[in-house]
Structure 1
Amino acid sequence: MDSMRGQGGIQMLLTAEQEAQHIVSAARNLKITRLRQAKEEAEREVANYRSHLDAEYQNKISESSGSCGSTAKQLEEETEIKIKNLKETAAKVSPDVVGMLIKYVTTVKT
């Protein structure tokens, strides 16, 4: 009877070991599947982020190249205004400067 129990116990252990192997195998397969899904999701996120950054970069390039002409035009206008202001200021001060120069040239120090 002990030998029957021993064989039955061994058979139970073998069955339990097989069940454990199936559980471990299923868990391993599930882990591999999850890792593949995570990798694919990460690759999609990286691709989306890369395309987003590329789109931003292209927008900045198009904005800066498009605004070059307007920036140059704006600088020309500002320069013209500054030149005009300088000429007006010089015209206002010119008689005083001329008078001062004539005074110093014609005054004799003794």
Structure 2
Amino acid sequence: MPDLAIPERTPYPSDLTDEQWALIEPFVSAVGGGPKEQVHPRREVVNAILYVTRTGVQWRFLPHDLPDWQSVYHSFRNRPASDVAGGIAGVAVVVDPGRNVEAG
């Protein structure tokens, strides 16, 4: 399923770059949850998760220009651990190419 278009907004420092997204996109599948249609672009959901983890803000205090907190939290709680681990390892290599990242 193709991803939805990213809405225009001022990027946050925690947002993924295009290069980082290209590396982790294959690991970030749409979260299953029945017949519901995808409401938010997967990249924006990941950006929202990164915003929470990097700033320490509570889920309910996500900025209004990111996807709603309920959708982001649902995605975070229902994403397989392998998706998260694989994606983060990919981003770590892009951010710090000399870093030794081991899977597992």
Q: How would you bin the TM-score normalised by the shorter chain?
A: under 0.3
- Greater share of residues in helix: 1
Which structure has more RCO (C-alpha within 8 Å, separation ≥ 6)? Answer: 2
Q: TM-score, normalised by structure 2?
A: 0.18
Select the structure of larger CA radius of gyration. Answer: 1
